[in-house]
Amino acid sequence: MQRQARTRASVLLAIMAAGVFTIFAFGQPSTTAALQSNFVGGEPSRPDSSDMRALRLRFEAGVRSNWHAHAGWQILAAEEGRGRTQERGGEIIELVPGGRPVFAPAGVVHWHGASPDEHVVQLTVLGGGDGGPTSWFGPVSEEEYRGR
């Protein structure tokens, strides 16, 4: 009986010694090590973005949308190639990779697509509008498309 008690005590002591060794060998995080943050002055919050979606559209050279307006806002940018966009009555804006994205507010009639001689991969982010429908209008004429 005493022999069993000594064996159990030895096993328990060996387990405890292994635990202590592990803590010293592999260490616990130092209390002096500061937590690293990727932000200065606090962490940003993440507001709800369930009303947003993003997509890529590839327009071949000369392809463009009809005039239309979205229930929410839209951001357009070119990832590849060369594109165009225009608000009704405004100037044609060229979309190029690394260029400035274009913001189309809700309800503003516009079109977008590729340039006449080059395709575009367009990045589109849509938001707001409570998922309301896009209002479609007539085609963009060749004269409007070419800025004449």
Q: Identify the CATH class of 53-145.
A: mainly beta
pLDDT score for 67 = 98
CB 97 within 8 A of CB 80: yes
**Cα separation of 56 and 36, whole Å?**
35
Angle in degrees, CA 141, 142, 145, rounded to 5: 85
Q: What is the largest CA-CA distance in the chain?
A: 105
Determine the Cα–Cα distance for residues 138 and 38; give it in Å rounded to an integer. 48
Q: What digits encode the pLDDT tens for the residues 43-86?
A: 999 999 988 999 999 999 999 999 999 999 999 999 999 999 99
The pLDDT value recorded for residue 130 is 77
